[in-house]
Amino acid sequence: MNDMAKNLILWLVIAAVLLTVFNNFSVENAPNTMNYSQFVEQVQNQQVRSVTIDGYTINGERSDGSSFQTIRPSADDPKLMDDLLSHNVTVIGKKPEEQSIWTRLLIASFPILLILAIFMFFMRQMQGGAGGKGGPMSFGKSKAKLLSQDQIKTTFADVAGCDEAKEEVEELVDFLRDPTKFQRLGGTIPRGVLMVGPPGTGKTLLAKSIAGEAKVPFFSISGSDFVEMFVGVGASRVRDMFEQAKKQAPCIIFIDEIDAVGRSRGAGMGGGNDEREQTLNQLLVEMDGFEANEGIIVIAATNRPDVLDPALLRPGRFDRQVVVPLPDIRGREHILNVHLRKVPLADDVKPSFIARGTPGFSGADLANLVNEAALFAARRNKRLVSMEELELAKDKIMMGAERRSMVMTEKEKLNTAYHEAGHAIIGLVAPEHDPVYKVTIIPRGRALGVTMFLPEQDRYSLSRQQIISQICSLFGGRIAEEMTLGPNGVTTGASNDIKRATELAHSMVAKWGLSEEMGPIMYDEDESHQFLGGSMQGGSKLKSGETTSRLDKEVRKIIDECYAEAERILHENRDKLDAMADALMQYETIDADQLKDIMEGRTPRPPKDWDDNGTHGGSPVTGEPNKEAGASEASDVEGDEEDDDTPGRRPSDPLGGPAGS
């Protein structure tokens, strides 16, 4: 219900109340009434002094001074005047009221005005009410939400972890504050800024902080809001959005997920989408056409820049591409400081240690980590969030939630313990492998057990030796099962390990040029543009049957060498394999310090959360990651995973990013 309808109802209520009050007063103050027969009788008895005749109403005064009122009948009484005059009654006539021409005109035109008002009311409702949005006639209107400069409280101080991106957009703020600074030197500000980065890195937050710093209106809309089932609606909304922006200039238009409307035209199997292409064409014209849009800066965000139309990315439209990457260790620490300001913290909280143990986390992941830690503290009825809750939250996000209620037989637990111990020992012995941070046989998420690796520093590429060591560690679980259960006792728990090892070996040969036999040649087809108008054949034409056979042989050679090396390492460390499996059966989770004790031949120390009664109080928590464990920049998680069909392994990023849960 809009304001017009509300006002109409309010006035009707007021009128009804006033009418009721007036009627009550008129009843109370009305003179004594009598019927016409009584009136005539009193006239004839000399009891009436004077009368005032107003149409059918007769108001009079008796001889005793009292007043009265009567209504004469519609039938004419020709003797009335004679009776009044013969009985000395003073007769007063009242001049009939004459309506002004404006009153008569208003009364005559009132029905027409009422019809027009009703018609306009329904038309306004169909167009979406007072705001002009939401009605059936408003599908050509822009759905952009306008935030005034007073509504935006976000500033650059609320954005952390993307210093380079902030530097790129700071001059936008300077231009919006003082455009003459650039114009007097002949410079023009970029008309469009495209923010590119993985989900959760803060692209929307950065755009909002630009508007907050510049103190200008901010239009926000999603790319999917333009496209409808009716052809031409998207283009109409683009026109309407820019028309509204011109009235608010200087201002910012932010289009989130622009790839929904900005995909390459005429691409894809089965032809293009005509409505989406018309919308894109209109957007191209509005951003850089015959009519200039001074003072309007378009900021768009996407995590798929490869699918955008080239005409959209050319200078004059999106002049600048700002990459908002995943934060490094310093950026993660700054982001954590921003989010930790919102929760009460204990004295032992050290954001730098959390940042070292959360490699590959985005800003959204870190915000989720702080929130999970606050929830853990609330469940324990604590008033402060300590390092223990933050570590528990980190383990939950990286490895999944603990499932202590899951029933496993002792045989399955022992097999899982040997499996995870096999991964851990090879990770500790193999050259250039990521250090082991934690091993557990507590089911987490879909995994029956988890081995967690954390590299010692930020890493953006892998050496051949690192890949070889990673393949060896992937086979460690299967080999440990074979050593303890025999060839016929090996389970399906290594299915995902085998898949990942095969993918790494295949990429070494076919993508990364790390095979002497095949040389530095790209053999794999490029599937990135298969559904964007690219060739369905890709690079497969480059491979003959003989080449494919040689590729398979080289992949098998790498797999066999890594399998043999992993088998040698575990046989040489059989005593440590047994000791680690026993420790896992006793404590369920062992950390880097306990792993160090086992590898040095000592009895592993109890976990820090192991109480005097010998019961496990939760996952081991350490305030500072052990330097030798390398709890720092990236993670790799192995896990004895239960699949829908067969048990498998928890996947992880071959380049050392965080494993999926």
- Looking at residue 56, the DSSP 8-state letter turns out to be T
Token look-up 């060896």 returns 472
Residues near 69 by beta carbon (within 8 Å), at least 6 away in sequence = 30, 31, 32, 33, 34, 57, 58, 59, 60
Q: How far is residue 589's CA from residue 132's CA, in Å, rounded to a whole number?
A: 61
Q: How far is residue 352's CA from residue 349's CA, in Å, rounded to a whole number?
A: 9
Among residues 480, 451, 394, the alpha carbon closest in space to that of 589 is found at: 451
Alpha carbon 644 to its chain's center: 30
Alpha carbon 37 to its chain's center: 85
- Contact (Cβ atoms closer than 8 angstroms) between residue 212 and residue 152: yes
- Contact (Cβ atoms closer than 8 angstroms) between residue 281 and residue 311: no
Determine which one of 420, 567, 588, 638 is catalytic: 420
3-state SS, residue 492: helix
Among residues 224, 221, 256, 259, the alpha carbon closest in space to that of 240 is found at: 221
- Contact (Cβ atoms closer than 8 angstroms) between residue 223 and residue 262: yes
Establish how many alpha carbons lie within 13 A of residue 232's alpha carbon, considering only the half-sphere containing its beta carbon: 0
Helix H or strand E segment including 576? helix 574-587
3-state SS, residue 385: strand
- Contact (Cβ atoms closer than 8 angstroms) between residue 623 and residue 609: no
Token look-up 């300001």 returns 341
- Contact (Cβ atoms closer than 8 angstroms) between residue 321 and residue 194: yes
- Cis peptide bond N-terminal to 315, omega within 30: no
Q: What amino acid is encoded at 47 in this protein?
A: Q
Token pair for residue 376?
């853990």
Report the relative pairing of strands 296-302 and 145-147 from DSSP bridges: unpaired
Please count the other Cβ atoms lying within 10 Å of the Cβ belonging to residue 102: 8
Among residues 160, 201, 205, the alpha carbon closest in space to that of 299 is found at: 205
Report the relative pairing of strands 320-323 and 192-196 from DSSP bridges: parallel
554 is catalytic: no
3-state SS, residue 405: coil
Residues labelled as active-site residues: 420
